[in-house]
Structure 1
């Protein structure tokens, strides 16, 4: 296996959506803790997810099935799953979340919210209770969300366009130039963007860039930090290190070592979350 093919976290898989689907859905993700789960650190991010939590025993028995809204993470945190814990979910683009999920991202920051019966999700719950494999559940969740998305026109307004542009350039954008491109006063863009997503375009761009950087580093055993700083638009490596430390509580090297299992998890700057 090459360094660029190195998986990011044991038990974790992520499958991005492409094309028109990506206007609504960011990625399907699965975390299967197994019998001896390893805690790992989550950086802050802003896409909410809708999915299933459940526990699978050593004999394959399924229990504690719960449809869950996984909110954005406003700060770095440690995830310490119990043995057998499984999470299978679809990450939703934040600018469409309120319309698609009927839940505003800012109302669920740093929370995992159990949901009751939702239209269209009874079949997903039955699959989860019957022990369907994670990829099957992810496909069923995506299908329901795509059907719901078909009933609401994909947003073509300037706030949605701004969010997509920020992601397309991996957060490397000056907000005044973005506002100019959209033919909007910067203050107007900031106000409408914050109303829709729950944070400013500058803050969102910072989270997009941070996560793109971390994911790029995760795919390397020995990251070229100076090269990554240049690639992601930081003034220099020191600037990049300071920003990563501010957002996660750790230096890039320490964070990377934790995430690929070469260092013990530190609780510095990140509350534990079960």
Structure 2
């Protein structure tokens, strides 16, 4: 997209986490078993309009310009055009919860951006209208969560096994090893793959790649003087070349461009 030594040209994609003020909030108490967080992203008035959303292993319900949209699990960068100065709000499902709320395996919507009305019909449009009637971002987030709270009692909580698998891969830079996960869950590799495809959209190896990439992003944000070789080691890559290949495959950017956009 850009070389490592040139500024990002006007109109070029910018990482969604670097395009504005992104904030996360605890979900309402009634939603804690189903959603990781609620969030808002307020774009700077002078921000580029093309946002690059990179894979994170998650599924979100988002409210954008009056519409409720399901952001399915990604395996590559997803580009979207946003209005500078606007605010996007969302609710991020806990691992394995989205399939219960949407009524289908996540493997069917990998890389997709679909209107929530595709799943919930007129109810989704009614919720979107209620959110749109709110006068501030805070009130819109309240309206979204209030609607989800009314639905939560009728939705089965996500399977604990998928939460364990997700968190095991997310937190271990060296990786606990699939054998450990299989033993803990007492399932075969084939069963684990099937369950992961339903819960996340893809198998455990792809999920591992995506969560390793997210570790790199988090480490880059936290580091005061990031060095790619050090970040590669801490994130769990075999070497810097491995990091470079994976970052390009999952984001479309070079690692140096990612660091620059994140201000690292």
TM-score between the two structures when normalised by the length of structure 1: 0.74
Work out which of the residue numbers 145, 154, 158 in structure 2 matches 1:155.
158
Alignment check: 8 A CA contact 1:40 1:258 kept:
no
Displacement after TM superposition at 1:90 (Å): 0.6
2:92 corresponds to which residue?
91
Alignment check: 8 A CA contact 1:37 1:81 kept:
no
1:50 corresponds to which residue?
61
The C-alpha deviation readout for 1:233-262, integer Å capped at 9, x for no partner, is 2223333223222322332112221344x9
* Structure 2 CA distance for partners of 1:125 and 1:104, relative to 1, 3 Å: farther
Q: Within 5 Å, which residues of 2 pair with 1:19-58?
A: 23-38=33-48, 39-54=50-65
* Structure 2 CA distance for partners of 1:170 and 1:14, relative to 1, 3 Å: farther
* Secondary structure of the corresponding residue to residue 100 of structure 2: helix
2:132 corresponds to which residue?
128
1:72 corresponds to which residue?
73
* Secondary structure of the corresponding residue to residue 18 of structure 2: coil
Displacement after TM superposition at 1:179 (Å): 0.5
Q: d(CA) in 1 for partners of 2:174 and 2:152?
A: 26
* Structure 2 CA distance for partners of 1:26 and 1:150, relative to 1, 3 Å: same
Displacement after TM superposition at 1:200 (Å): 0.2
1:225 corresponds to which residue?
228
The C-alpha deviation readout for 1:97-143, integer Å capped at 9, x for no partner, is 0112335433333333223355487356324234x222332233234
* Structure 2 CA distance for partners of 1:172 and 1:125, relative to 1, 3 Å: farther
Alignment RMSD (CA, Å): 3.2
Alignment check: 8 A CA contact 2:74 2:110 kept:
yes
1:194 corresponds to which residue?
197
In structure 2, stretches of 5+ residues that fail to align are 1-16
Would you tell me which structure has more helix in proportion to its own residues?
2
Q: d(CA) in 1 for partners of 2:42 and 2:253?
A: 26
> Higher mean Cα deviation, 236-245 or 11-20?
11-20
Answering whether residue 206 of structure 2 is matched by residue 203 of structure 1, we say yes
Alignment check: 8 A CA contact 1:171 1:205 kept:
no
Answering whether residue 184 of structure 2 is matched by residue 177 of structure 1, we say no
Q: d(CA) in 1 for partners of 2:62 and 2:52?
A: 20
